[in-house]
Amino acid sequence: MERKNVIISEGNRPLWQLVIAALHYTVIVFLLFFFFVKFEFTTDTKKLRGSLSLLELALFLLPSALAFSVVGSSLFDLNNKQYKVAYGVGPIRWGNWRVLPEIEYVSVFGQPKVDGSIIFETNLWYAGNRHFNIYQNYDKETVMLMGKSVAKLLKVDLWDSTVAHKGHWVKVEEGK
């Protein structure tokens, strides 16, 4: 049986997130346009500060625009034993191919944050206690689905530790 290349993606963002991201990007473009139109090399600090405030505001809005538009995905090239954690905004994608080590198992667990919320992560474990993160999200079911998909793909076990100190092995059905 030939092993194929596999892409596991977050999918598309909800429409409301895309609308918010589009508004942010639109404001950023206008701010940058006005910055370049209005900017002049001068020693007058008032004019210089006015121009730079447009740039500051554009840079301030960029992280929130990215937060509402970036989509993550994991790509596996099992024939060449490589993987890539890729991120993208629209048609623009970035990420690097890395060597896929011999994976022992996949784990899904919750990581408490400083603000009290919990972010769930999917990790691939290899060489005893070494691991790398391939996905994280605040939605437990989405992360668990990612973990099951990857465990099924790699034909390894899945460790569910989404509830602290109550980890257990999850049976993953074999692929067709």
Tens digits of pLDDT across the chain (176 residues):
455 677 767 777 889 999 999 999 999 999 999 888 877 776 767 777 777 888 899 999 999 999 999 988 888 887 888 888 888 888 888 999 988 889 899 999 988 889 988 999 999 999 888 998 888 888 899 889 888 988 888 889 999 988 888 888 988 776 54
CA distance 33 to 83: 39
What is the model's pTM?
0.64
CA distance 107 to 160: 6
Q: Decide if 119 contacts 138 (C-beta within 8 A).
A: yes
Region class of 63: left (phi > 0), else alpha (psi between -120 and 50), else beta: alpha
DSSP helix/strand/coil, 172? coil
The whole-number pLDDT of residue 97 equals: 92
The neighbour count for residue 45, using CB atoms within 10 Å, is 9
DSSP helix/strand/coil, 82? strand
CA distance 105 to 128: 10
